[in-house]
């Protein structure tokens, strides 16, 4: 039993070291934009992990230890989402599209394949950089629409970079024009503004992380309790609060973007 316990503890330490190293190495690196970039980054990481980074519990590299060495492998058959410049993806506007004034109601589901990758990138960036606030996302969204074809430098404009990357994946999922993309950004800005009254200045960020399934149950319960407290303080009917809270735990087939009326959050103000 002691041998088995020691082995499990050793494996746990080894995996913890690898996970910490992964975060350290990729923290300030932009997402790879091609198979070649992805492969190069992972090769560099494995070389750094095995030969440069010292393990926190031993003070030696895996190579020096003669163990915990991670072998690099690459599967060319796997299909990944990669960046393609927006000027190569966006299509010309039709008269019908030019008449579109906003993304709302059923249009939300129609454009969900574009909205999702943008919000997913925003949520993932926030989870790794929890000092940012809703105002930072709003500013980056507006900045992005001012120059959607710019190649944003990740070191200077990381959020714009993530938004642009998500928009590229979205435009690969569904053919859209520049006009439609700007309306989608307007929709996201509205989603942020509808939560600007929530304490902590991260109402949108915490909500989108919950909605996309990135938060654990305890974190979601904390958000739910806050909504219920604010609802009771503002005399909002429980039924209305329940509808909002339902979006914190969307089930695969029951709560879809088309059914999410984000303007309901205004009623809590």
The reported pLDDT for the residue numbered 4 is 42
Measure the CA–CA gap between 24 and 54, rounded to whole angstroms: 12
| 3-class SS letters over 173-221 | HCCCEHHHHHHHHHHHHHHHHCCCCCCCCCHHHHHHHHHCCCCCHHHHH
The reported pLDDT for the residue numbered 75 is 66
Residue 71 belongs to some domain of the structure = no
Q: Quote the percentage of the chain above a pLDDT of 90.
A: 44
Q: Does pLDDT of 12 surpass 80? A: no
Q: How many domains would you assign to the chain?
A: 2
* 13 & 122 share domain: no
CA dihedral angle for residue 251, residue 181, residue 103, residue 185, rounded to 10 degrees: 80
* 90 & 55 share domain: no
For the beta carbon of residue 121, count every other beta carbon within 10 angstroms: 22
Q: Does pLDDT of 3 surpass 90? A: no
* 40 & 98 share domain: no
Residue 6 belongs to some domain of the structure = yes
For the beta carbon of residue 104, count every other beta carbon within 10 angstroms: 13
Q: Which domain holds residue 158?
A: 86-268
Exposed e or buried b for every residue in 177-195, given b needs 16+ CB within 10 A?
bbbbbebbbbbbbbbbbbb
The reported pLDDT for the residue numbered 258 is 39
Q: Of 65, 95, 110, which residue sits at a domain end? A: 65
Measure the CA–CA gap between 75 and 60, rounded to whole angstroms: 30
The predicted model gives 128-156 an average pLDDT of 94
What the block records as the tokens of 17 is 């070291």
The reported pLDDT for the residue numbered 237 is 85
* 176 & 250 share domain: yes
The predicted model gives 43-64 an average pLDDT of 89
- CA end-to-end distance (rounded Å), the chain: 58
The reported pLDDT for the residue numbered 257 is 42
What is the pTM assigned to this prediction?
0.70
The reported pLDDT for the residue numbered 2 is 45
Residue 46 belongs to some domain of the structure = yes
Which tens digits make up the pLDDT trace of 209-257?
998 888 888 999 999 998 888 888 888 888 888 888 888 887 644 444 4
The reported pLDDT for the residue numbered 83 is 84
* 200 & 139 share domain: yes
Which tens digits make up the pLDDT trace of 162-203?
999 999 999 999 999 999 999 999 999 999 998 887 888 999
Report which of residues 260 and 168 the model is more confident about: 168
The reported pLDDT for the residue numbered 192 is 95
The predicted model gives 96-121 an average pLDDT of 92
């Amino acid at each position: 039993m002691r041998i088995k316990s020691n082995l499990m503890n050793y494996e746990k330490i080894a995996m913890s070291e690898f996970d910490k190293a992964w975060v350290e190495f990729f923290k300030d690196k932009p997402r790879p934009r091609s198979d070649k970039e992805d492969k190069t980054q992972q090769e560099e990481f494995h070389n750094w992990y095995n030969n440069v980074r010292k393990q926190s519990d031993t003070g030696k590299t895996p190579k020096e230890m003669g163990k915990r060495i991670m072998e690099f492998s690459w599967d060319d058959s796997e299909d990944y989402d990669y960046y393609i410049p927006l000027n190569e993806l966006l299509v010309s506007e039709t008269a019908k599209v030019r008449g579109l004034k906003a993304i709302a109601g059923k249009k939300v589901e129609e454009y969900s394949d574009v909205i999702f990758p943008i919000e997913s990138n925003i949520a993932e960036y926030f989870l790794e950089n929890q000092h940012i606030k809703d105002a930072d996302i709003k500013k980056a969204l507006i900045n992005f629409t001012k120059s959607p074809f710019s190649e944003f430098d990740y070191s200077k404009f990381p959020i714009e970079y993530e938004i642009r990357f998500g928009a590229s994946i979205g435009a690969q999922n569904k053919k859209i024009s520049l006009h439609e993309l700007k309306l989608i950004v307007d929709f996201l800005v509205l989603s942020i503004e509808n939560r600007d009254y929530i304490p902590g200045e991260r109402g949108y960020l915490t909500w989108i992380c919950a909605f996309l399934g990135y938060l654990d149950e305890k974190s979601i319960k904390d958000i739910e309790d806050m909504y219920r407290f604010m609802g009771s303080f503002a005399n909002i009917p429980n039924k209305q609060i329940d509808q909002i809270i339902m979006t914190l735990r969307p089930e695969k087939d029951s709560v879809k973007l088309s059914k999410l009326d984000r303007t309901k959050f205004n009623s809590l103000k």
